[in-house]
Amino acid sequence: MQFKTLPKVGRSESEIELELDLILQDNELRMGKVFQPPKGVEDFSKRIFAKFMSENAIKSQRGDWIGEIEKQVIQMCVGLFNAPGDASGTFTSGGSESIYTAVHAIREWAKTHKPHITEPEIVVPYSAHPTFTKGCHYFGLKEVRAGLDETWRASPELMDAAVTKNTIAVVASAPCFPYGLYDPVQEIGDIATRHDLWMHVDACVGGYLAPFLEELNIGLPRWDFRVGAVQSISADLHKLGCCLKPASTVLWRSEQLLQYHHFHPSNWPCGTYDMVGFAGSRTAGPIFAAWATLQHLGVNGFVRVAEELLIRKKELFDGINEIEGLKCWDNHLVPVVFEATSVDLAKVKAEMSNRKWNLYGTQEPPLINICLDPASDDNVVDEFLSDLSDAVRLTRQGSVLTKGSLSY
Ligand SMILES: *Cc1c(COP(=O)(O)O)cnc(C)c1O
CA atoms within 13 A on the CB side of 241: 35
Task: Count CB neighbours of 10 within 10 A.
Answer: 8
Q: Is 116 exposed, middle or buried (0-12, 13-18, 19+ CB in 10 A)?
A: exposed
Series of mean pLDDT values for 10-residue runs along the chain (408 residues) = 86 96 91 84 98 98 97 97 95 98 98 98 98 98 98 98 98 97 98 98 97 94 97 97 97 98 97 97 98 98 96 96 96 90 95 93 95 90 96 95 87
Contact 180, 331 (CB under 8 A): yes
Query: Does the pTM exceed 0.85?
Result: yes
| Res 28: pLDDT | 87
| Res 334: pLDDT | 82
93 lines ligand 1 (CB under 6 A): no
Separation of CA 205 and ligand 1 centre (Å): 6
Separation of CA 370 and ligand 1 centre (Å): 14
- CA nearest 67: which of 366, 291, 247? 291
Rounded-to-integer distance, Cα 376 and Cα 378, Å: 7
187 lines ligand 1 (CB under 6 A): no
129 lines ligand 1 (CB under 6 A): yes
Q: How far lies 198's CA from each of 68, 120, 125, 229, 240, in Å?
A: 29, 12, 15, 7, 26
| Res 1: pLDDT | 63
Separation of CA 128 and ligand 1 centre (Å): 10
| Res 301: pLDDT | 97
127 lines ligand 1 (CB under 6 A): no
Separation of CA 184 and ligand 1 centre (Å): 19
Rounded-to-integer distance, Cα 335 and Cα 321, Å: 16
| Res 35: pLDDT | 85
202 lines ligand 1 (CB under 6 A): yes
